[in-house]
Structure 1
Amino acid sequence: MDPDEISRLVNDLKLYHNDPNDTINLEEEDIKIEEERLLRCLVAKVLSPKAINRDAFRQQMPRVLQSEKRIIIEATGDNTFVFEFLSLRDRARALSEGPWHFSRNLVIFKEPTGWNNPRSMIFDEIPIWVQLHNVPIALMHEDLLLKLGGKIGSVVEIDKGENGACLGRFARIRVRINTMQPLRKCIRINAMRDEEDLYILLVYERLPDFCYACGRLGHSHRECDDSMADKVNLNFGA
């Protein structure tokens, strides 16, 4: 049965099935067992406008994640899957590293919580390393890099190098970005002096396929339905 049809039927049951004698009261032990299982699980969403091959996904993702132990993967519909990890270290790595790809599409992992249905979860953020190029040495300090990273998303980590300093050919920040928004290409800095404004170029590491027309993740420019995007000049192209 189609998952959308199941959701509709469940909503109908909420409206018309009000017999209190038909309700099952869960015991504390029942809830504890499920909470322990949640600690081994993650929910994954493949950002693609097309339905992916579920069997290929189940076969390839353990290799993509380089898992130490077996992973049980079950589809829940709409390119959404539940992962049950036999190794908590594999689970932690899937959640903290990445971004992960399947057939050049972005795979986003989230922790399930409480009674949330995996199909109702929102997958709109990913952590990703971003290189900041053209940053002057005088500005290579943690306070300013936090401000720059805040223009991209929510800063998770700053790469300070082996000596604890933010020096090198470029600065490097791990940022949690919103997948629903266009990727930012640069950040302009006004030094409030006589010099011209400074432009910081952003380079996203291990970035999956995205739309060169609108700058968003999850589809290509050939599949873009944004009427305001320039599909000829491709402002987010090479």
Structure 2
Amino acid sequence: MMIKEPMANPNPNPKLPPHTSSVMMTVPAATKETTGGQAWNTLFTGTKLAKKGMSLVFILPKVQNGEKVVELSKIEIEKECAYWKQTIILYVIGASPTIATVAGFIASNWNFASKPRIYYHNDGYFIVRFNSMEDRNEVIYSGPQLLNNRPLVIKPWSVKFDFAKEVLKIIPLWVKFPNLPLNYWSMDSLSRISSGLGNPLYVDECTTQMERISYARVLIELDIIRPRPNSVKVADPHGKEFDQAVAYDWKSIYCGTCCQLGHDCSKAQNQVGDTTCRVQERQPRAVHDGGQDKRQTKATAKPRPPENLKAQGQEPAAKGPNHKMRQA
């Protein structure tokens, strides 16, 4: 028995994002399951669910060595990449703010950009999509940011983005090269010097225009797991070497135990141990009694009787199984 396929909806859903399209679901007649004589795919036609969502189409997977392999369309992937290209990844170190909090921060601190779209991921980071590449770049190159006194990690979205591998380990930091010789301020020289630390991304405007010559400032992607050096060894064309000093706008703390930014469990444990040792080695304090200086510790010092008992002519007896108040 032949079953008529539903006609595709000629009008795409206007509520869907611009990079998506609305296509009615079509299933081969041999695989259709019916309920009450009606095909499953016809149950959603014309319903509110179909109007709000995005309809799909069945595409037969490829079979290789007896296993199904799903092949994606290069054209569709490139279309999606173009849509998400003007996006940044935003992560707040040591805090989990709400979307409303992030939206308020963006409105007050990035008011030069058109209102972006904010998405939250359950892994604890945000995806912020701007309306133009100019707005995105302006935010990335704006320098270190704080949200409620918590540092922000901001980096551009990429096709190979992996939160666990990138946000928590490789972050962009502004780095200064104090007293860098002026003949080393070219794009090539700054790129070479910055590559000694990580992956250079951008030079700030003052360095580009040489409006400030006391130091060069570069945005560099750094692996925060590795120790950050305080200098870079540079060799000039004549073979003469010198150590170029390095200063970081923000020194991040990474915990190798928790694989998170903002704290270090090993240092916290060491501090607790040091505190215990200091308490045990605390010197006896001086107790002045009747003009005599007696050195006593807390463990050996005799407790003083309360003032109210002295006023009543009483003094506390020594604690014991038959502890009672003795009359003076």
Q: Same fold (TM over 0.5)?
A: yes
TM-score by length of 2: 0.44
Would you say the 8 A contact 2:116–2:131 is kept in 1?
yes
Q: Separation in 2 of the partners of 1:150 and 1:69?
A: 34
Residue deviations 1:145-186, cap 9 Å, x none? Answer: 5554233222345635449xxx93334444332233333333
Unaligned runs of 5+ in 1: 1-20, 192-196, 234-238
The answer to whether 1:64 aligns with 2:109 is: yes
Q: What is aligned with 1:218?
A: 261
Distance 1:175 1:182, change over 3 A: same
Instruction: Find the aligned partners of 2:197 and 2:143 in 1 and give their Cα distance.
Output: 18
CA distance in 2, matches of 1:42, 1:91: 7
CA contact (8 A) 1:71 1:86 kept: yes
Partner of 2:130: 85
Alpha-carbon shift at residue 87 of structure 1 (Å)? 3.5
Partner SS state of residue 261, structure 2: coil
In the TM superposition, 1:12-161 aligns within 5 A as: 24-25=58-59, 34-48=80-94, 50-103=95-148, 104-113=150-159, 122-123=166-167, 124-135=169-180, 140=184, 142=186, 146-157=191-202, 159=207, 161=209
Q: 1:171 to 1:32 in 2, by over 3 A?
A: closer
2:246 aligned partner: 202
> How far, CA to CA, are the matches of 1:30 and 1:150 in structure 2?
35
Indicate the structure whose relative CO is greater, using CA pairs within 8 Å and at least 6 residues apart. Answer: 1
For structure 2, which runs of at least 5 residues remain unmatched after alignment?
A: 1-30, 33-56, 60-71, 275-328
Asked if structure 1 preserves the Cα contact closer than 8 Å seen for 2:176 and 2:216, the reply is yes
Distance in 2 separating the partners of 1:46 and 1:135:
32
Asked if structure 2 preserves the Cα contact closer than 8 Å seen for 1:58 and 1:73, the reply is yes
| Displacement after TM superposition at 1:42 (Å) | 3.1
What letter corresponds to residue 129 of structure 2 in structure 1? E
Q: CA RMSD in A?
A: 4.6
**Amino acid across the alignment from 2:222:** I
Is the alpha carbon distance of 1:161 and 1:112 closer, same or farther for their aligned partners in structure 2, counting shifts above 3 Å? closer
> What is the number of residues matched between the two proteins?
195
* SS of corresponding position for 1:42: strand
CA distance in 1, matches of 2:215, 2:74: 53
Which structure is larger by alpha-carbon Rg, 1 or 2? 2
Q: CA deviation at 1:76?
A: 1.0
Deviations 1:95-133 (A, max 9, x none): 44433332322222231428x6x7566224344432223
Alpha-carbon distance between aligned partners in 1 of 2:77 and 2:234, rounded to the nearest angstrom: 52
